[in-house]
Amino acid sequence: MDYVKRSELDMLLEGIQKPGRYIGNETGIKSKSLTQIEQNNMVLAALAFPDVYEMGMANLGMQILYDTINRRPDFHAERVYAPWMDFEQSLKQKGCHLFSLESRILLKDFHFIGFSLAHELLYSNMLNMIHLAGLKVRANQRQGFPLIGAGGPAAANPQPVSAFLDFVVIGEAEELILEIMARIQSYRAKHMDKQDMLTDLSRLEGIYVPGMYRFYYHRSGKIQRIEPQKQVRKRIFENFSQNSMVRDPVVPNIHVVHDRLAAEIMRGCPRQCRFCQARCIYHPLRARKEKDLAQDIISGLKCTGYDELSLLSLSTADYKGLENLMERLKDYVMDRRISISLPSLRMESFSSGVEQLLGSGRKTGLTFAPEAGSRRMRKIIGKDMTQETLIRCIRSAFSKGWEKIKLYFMIGFPFEEDADILAIAALIQDVVHAAKAVLPAKRFRRLKIGVSVNAMVPKPHTPFQWAAQDSPQVLERKFSMIVKNVPKRAVKLNWTDPQKSRLEAALARGDARLCDVVEQAWRNGARFDNWTDLFDLDAWMKAFAELELPVDFYANRIYEQDEILPWDMIHMGIEKKVLLKQYQKAQQYAAEENSV
């Protein structure tokens, strides 16, 4: 087992921006010593996040798996994040391969490397990390250990990266990760070859082995058949409600995104938004008990010293015990001026009690996601609420002292009309007027309303998976309609490059042929594609052109309702016919509204 010595690390870090990304030694690390690892012949897992340290440290899934594995005396997990360009260059210049954060073990000496794919624009970074580890990027060119797997939302359709992965985790990994590690332990003892290992792994619920499937295509480019016709069912962590949250997470050395204690209070979502992939991925709904949560949270705050707490779920305001939980926490957080933040709130679930308790600590900001501006469109997407409810909540928040509000909208939904786009601008105007009506002039001048507008990306395993994404030109036109009609004062508009959204849609709905595109784009220089300043559209468009695969085929066409989809071998717990019925229902709503 090779590792990078401290003196070698010092040389690698010379002239490097933010060396804190690479030095480890944070509070809360759970690594065992190199001596323990070697003497006990431990199974080694590298948990890899294909973005920089500041982004990866905010990923709760990584913290959960790190904690889960390291509780076992015979297993050992370390972390690794994507090196920034300066550190990548230093590695290459000094002939050093990528290594883990805790003990600086070379990745090629781990038994398993597991990538957390939070979104599709991380694919090129994943390939780059495999390459920097001194490994072949193609799975069929690697022998023995390390096995390379991936999981997370962007693995829900694993086909665009299937050529690079030995296996894919479908669903939740808290229990499955230990079963994988136990199998690897057995493989080492039996000296099994790679194919036998993967065949054995495929028998675990929630494991998809790409090499065991074959795709056949029509001349049109659509899929003719997939063999075998065997579905991999997602793994569900049934014990979630009884399982404690991570009370002693790793606390970063440097400032990171979402630098706070994260408490996952509920998994799944009671809502049925037709564009939302997370709802399908984390189905069914499970909740932790507020009494246990309160104890875990206070323990976590004491352990980490954080002054901010985030209560995480897909729809936190729908957690039935929320007011009771926050009442249990109130004295502790008020005494220490700890702020409590929630993810985006549903207006109809935002009660006065929740509002009061949120404001009991330091006021940070409130985030609401109406998604659409018109009642018609909200009904179509499955997020129905009245304009009156929305404005009432906003007015109440302003009157209780909040001066920082964020609003999230999407454009490009199926069956969308220009009137729905103009309704977004009108709704933003109504929010500004609501603030002006309740705020004194001095406070109104300090008002900050952040508005984020993003293109709808049709995602696998959702009712809108068959829908076409609007072209970049149409999206540009729709966004300009909003810009022209919103008040400039107090409103800051942000939106995602529609070309980036089109790439995301193509990768999200892509088939196995896109593996060649992903690899070619990476070889063309694609890195950190989710970073606005680094996104290289030319690298991707050149790759699509070289391989004669049109982006529009994946992003901008309506998939036929009887078409075989690239992800049809993955079963996320909701039947395809149920999703299709919801898509047809949205179409019916649109027709009914237009006829009125």
| pLDDT tens per residue across span 70-126 | 999 999 999 999 999 999 999 999 999 999 999 999 999 999 999 999 999 999 999
C-alpha distances (whole Å) from 384 to each of 346, 370, 456 are 10, 9, 17
Query: So what's the pLDDT on residue 400?
Result: 76
CATH code at position 349: 3.30.750.210
Question: Percent of the chain, pLDDT > 70?
Answer: 96
- Cα–Cα distance measured from residue 488 to residue 468, given in angstroms and rounded to the nearest whole number: 32
Clarify whether residues 14 and 112 are in a common domain.
Answer: yes
The answer to the question of residue 246 being in a domain is: no
The tokens of 502 are what? 């089109």
Cis peptide before 210 (omega within 30 of 0): no
Query: So what's the pLDDT on residue 595?
Result: 63
Clarify whether residues 467 and 596 are in a common domain.
Answer: yes
Q: Is 81 helix (H, G, I), strand (E, B) or coil?
A: strand
Tokens 């606390």 sit on residue: 251
Q: Is 577 helix (H, G, I), strand (E, B) or coil?
A: helix
The answer to the question of residue 377 being in a domain is: yes
- Cα–Cα distance measured from residue 589 to residue 292, given in angstroms and rounded to the nearest whole number: 42
Query: So what's the pLDDT on residue 340?
Result: 87
Q: Give which of 592, 548, 549, 409 is closest to 486, Cα–Cα.
A: 409
Clarify whether residues 433 and 564 are in a common domain.
Answer: yes
Summarize the confidence of residues 347-351 as an average pLDDT: 58
The tokens of 531 are what? 């970073």
Clarify whether residues 192 and 55 are in a common domain.
Answer: yes
Q: Which residues contact 388 (CB under 8 A, 6 or more apart)?
A: none
Residue 357 reports pLDDT greater than 80: no
Phi-psi region of 570 (alpha: psi -120 to 50; beta: other; left: phi over 0): beta
Beta strand 112-116 pairing with 404-411: unpaired
Query: So what's the pLDDT on residue 346?
Result: 65
The answer to the question of residue 534 being in a domain is: no
Contact between 2 and 106 under an 8 Å Cβ cutoff? The reply is yes
User: pLDDT tens digits for 272-297?
Assistant: 899 999 999 999 999 999 999 999 99
Domain end among 177, 201, 225: 225
Q: Give the count of domains, the chain.
A: 3
The tokens of 451 are what? 């508005």
Q: Is 571 helix (H, G, I), strand (E, B) or coil?
A: strand
Clarify whether residues 133 and 196 are in a common domain.
Answer: yes
Contact between 351 and 376 under an 8 Å Cβ cutoff? The reply is no
The answer to the question of residue 519 being in a domain is: no
Summarize the confidence of residues 252-263 as an average pLDDT: 94
User: pLDDT tens digits for 423-476?
Assistant: 999 999 999 998 888 888 888 888 889 999 999 999 999 999 999 999 999 999
CATH code at position 506: 3.30.750.200
The tokens of 341 are what? 């933040």
Q: Which residues contact 488 (CB under 8 A, 6 or more apart)?
A: none
Residue 208 reports pLDDT greater than 60: yes
Q: Which residues contact 352 (CB under 8 A, 6 or more apart)?
A: 396
Clarify whether residues 292 and 391 are in a common domain.
Answer: no
* Least confidently predicted of 99-113, 195-209, 402-416: 402-416
Q: Which residues contact 508 (CB under 8 A, 6 or more apart)?
A: 120, 154, 157, 457, 458, 459, 460
Contact between 346 and 316 under an 8 Å Cβ cutoff? The reply is no
Q: Give which of 388, 185, 232, 563 is closest to 583, Cα–Cα.
A: 563
Which DSSP state fits 232? Answer: E
Domain end among 362, 392, 413: 362
Clarify whether residues 328 and 215 are in a common domain.
Answer: no
Clarify whether residues 190 and 270 are in a common domain.
Answer: no
Cis peptide before 414 (omega within 30 of 0): no
Query: So what's the pLDDT on residue 46?
Result: 98
- Domain coverage including residue 288: 260-362
DSSP conformation letters of 192-203: --HHHHHHHHTT
Per-residue buried b or exposed e for 342-373, using 16+ beta carbons within 10 Å of the residue's own CB: bebbbbebbeeebbebbbbbeeeebbbbbbbb
Domain end among 317, 347, 362: 362
The answer to the question of residue 25 being in a domain is: yes
The answer to the question of residue 15 being in a domain is: yes
Clarify whether residues 155 and 17 are in a common domain.
Answer: yes
Summarize the confidence of residues 558-570 as an average pLDDT: 97
C-alpha distances (whole Å) from 235 to each of 148, 171, 254, 366, 403 are 19, 5, 34, 33, 42
Contact between 311 and 340 under an 8 Å Cβ cutoff? The reply is yes
Per-residue buried b or exposed e for 495-519, using 16+ beta carbons within 10 Å of the residue's own CB: bbebbbbbbbbbbbbbbbbbbbbbb
Residue 347 reports pLDDT greater than 70: no
The answer to the question of residue 66 being in a domain is: yes
Residue 511 reports pLDDT greater than 60: yes
Clarify whether residues 182 and 301 are in a common domain.
Answer: no
Give start and end residues of each alpha helix (H) in 268-386: 277-281, 290-304, 322-335, 352-358, 375-381
Clarify whether residues 213 and 296 are in a common domain.
Answer: no
Clarify whether residues 411 and 507 are in a common domain.
Answer: yes
Sheet with 308-312, side-by-side order of all strands = 261-264, 308-312, 339-341
Residue 350 reports pLDDT greater than 80: no
C-alpha distances (whole Å) from 421 to each of 209, 477, 483 are 43, 10, 11
H helix count then E strand count, the chain: 22, 19
Query: So what's the pLDDT on residue 352?
Result: 53
- Cα–Cα distance measured from residue 583 to residue 414, given in angstroms and rounded to the nearest whole number: 10
Q: Is 482 exposed, middle or buried (0-12, 13-18, 19+ CB in 10 A)?
A: buried
Torsion angles phi and psi, residue 125, rounded to 5: -65, -35
Query: So what's the pLDDT on residue 448?
Result: 84
The answer to the question of residue 440 being in a domain is: yes
CATH code at position 148: 3.40.50.280
Torsion angles phi and psi, residue 231, rounded to 5: -95, 145
